[in-house]
Amino acid sequence: MDEMPVVVGADGSDESLRAVEWAALEADRRRVPLRIVSAPAPLPRMRSPYLSEAAVANALRGMAARNLDLAVERAAEVTQGLVIETDLLSGPAAVAVADCGHGASTLVLGARGSGRPGAMMLGSVSQHGVAHAPCPVVVVPDEALAVQHEIAVGIRDLQDGQGALAFAFEEAELRGAGLLAVHVVRRIPPKPAEGVPAYDPELASAAISRRQMEDMLAAWREKYPTVKVTADVAPARPAQVLASLSARADLLVIGKRTAPDPVIGSIRNAVLIHARGPVAIVPAEVQVTAGVPPVRDLLPSA
């Protein structure tokens, strides 16, 4: 059994408690411990003439500790017999929480925090976690949607989607859900040519991508025979398509490259802002399930 825990950040806000619920259920599905972490708010810039800096710091740590207690209670409400660990972090919340991704199977964060004194600002924490955590990061939005029994995965690069696909197939199998794999291709306007039969490069590109998608998914279908897979190619704006998928799926999975990519980063941020369901950001270097060939070996030669 994989004992890498599911880690979730808690700051006492309703948003973070929703993330705690999601993380507890995920840990229960994976049969691993749940580790709940919280970090005290930074010391305020304004200094009180009546309280020492040490007294304020102790008060903030006390609030963070109470946030952990609230989170443990919430996790216990949605699961039974789950091993729950807690950790009161130190240092800047965003960095401390992202570092908890080392040795974790998944890091779960709320989309936003409450912003009140003593709360961990999960807006900034989630952004930092998505960018820097070494494990898959799931961002849980404010609104909760009904279970749809479907996992969606967005594949931008057909030659570099192993991490996202591995995570998506595993999630679908754990939940007994179907999997929708979508590759979004940029719209290519046809070039009109007088006297030449009309040729639509958009349709041609979509047809090629669809064949590549089916070839790429063949090994995954064999590895996960119980998962019903649907493949689609959408010639549209990637962020718009992916955000809409988040409203119909229990979880939307998208990949993240190791090297900074402004294009992918802007798409990812737009999806997270407009998502209506949980979104998992999976680093490309996440270990792929054994026995599945590299995607580059599945694609047809040029």
232 and 274 assigned to the same domain:
yes
Q: What is the CATH number of the domain that holds 45?
A: 3.40.50.620
In a domain, 179, yes or no: yes
Domain shared by 125 and 162, yes or no: no
Does residue 1 lie within any of the structural domains?
A: no
C-beta of residue 108 within 8 angstroms of C-beta of residue 120: no
Question: What does the pLDDT read at residue 227?
Answer: 97
| pLDDT (0 to 100) of residue 116 | 45
Among 92, 122, 140, the domain-final residue is 140
How many angstroms from the chain centroid is the CA of residue 6? 13
pLDDT at 270: 85
* Structural domain includes residue 145: no
Q: Which of 86, 113, 140 is the last residue of a domain?
A: 140
Domains of the chain: total: 2
d(CA 214, CA 220) in angstroms, rounded, equals: 10
Co-location of 126 and 197 in the same domain: no
Same-domain check for residues 75 and 171: no
Inside any domain, residue 52: yes
Structure tokens at 130: 């998505």
Q: Is the dihedral of CA 223, 229, 232, 236 positive or negative?
A: negative
In the chain, the percentage of residues whose pLDDT exceeds 90 is 45
Considering just the CA atoms, what is the radius of gyration of the chain in Å? 21
The pair of structure tokens assigned to 203 is: 């349709």
Q: What is the pLDDT of residues 71-81, one digit of tens each?
A: 999 999 999 99
pLDDT attached to residue 24 = 97
**In this structure, is residue 260 part of a structural domain?**
yes
Quick one: pLDDT at residue 172?
Answer: 97
pLDDT, position 118:
42
Q: Are residues 163 and 285 in the same domain?
A: yes
Q: Which amino acid is at 289?
A: T
Q: For residue 48, what pLDDT is reported? A: 62
Same domain, 99 and 159: no
For residues 134 and 200, state if they share a domain. Answer: no
| Inside any domain, residue 118 | yes
Task: Give the pLDDT of residue 84.
Answer: 97
Are 73 and 175 within one domain?
no
At residue 234, the pLDDT reads: 78
Asked if residue 134 is part of any domain, the answer here is yes
* Domain range enclosing 157: 150-298
Contact 141, 286 (CB under 8 A): no
> How far from 205 is each of 32, 181, 184, 214, CA to CA, in Å?
43, 17, 11, 14
> Residue 266 contacts by C-beta under 8 Å, 6 or more apart in sequence?
239
Which are the contacts of 302, defined by CB distance < 8 A and separation ≥ 6? none
Whether residues 99 and 161 share a domain: the answer is no
pLDDT at 121: 42
SS3 135: coil
Phi, psi of 233 (to 5 degrees): -120, 125
In a domain, 120, yes or no: yes
Residue ending a domain, among 79, 111, 140, is 140
174 shares its domain with 239 = yes
Q: Are 297 and 220 in contact (CB under 8 A)?
A: no
Say yes or no: 114 and 249 in one domain: no
What's the pLDDT at 174? 96
* pLDDT number for residue 122: 41
> From the centroid of its chain, how far is CA 156?
16
Same domain? For 157 and 105 the reply is no
Tell me what pLDDT residue 47 has.
64
pLDDT per residue as tens, the chain (302 positions): 458 999 999 999 888 999 999 999 999 999 999 999 998 876 556 566 666 667 767 878 888 899 999 999 999 999 999 999 999 998 888 999 999 999 999 999 998 755 544 444 447 888 889 989 999 999 998 776 678 899 999 987 776 678 899 999 999 999 999 999 998 776 555 555 565 555 556 566 667 778 888 888 999 999 999 999 999 887 778 888 898 899 889 999 999 876 555 545 778 888 888 888 999 999 987 654 433 444 334 333 33
Q: Is 204 helix (H, G, I), strand (E, B) or coil?
A: helix
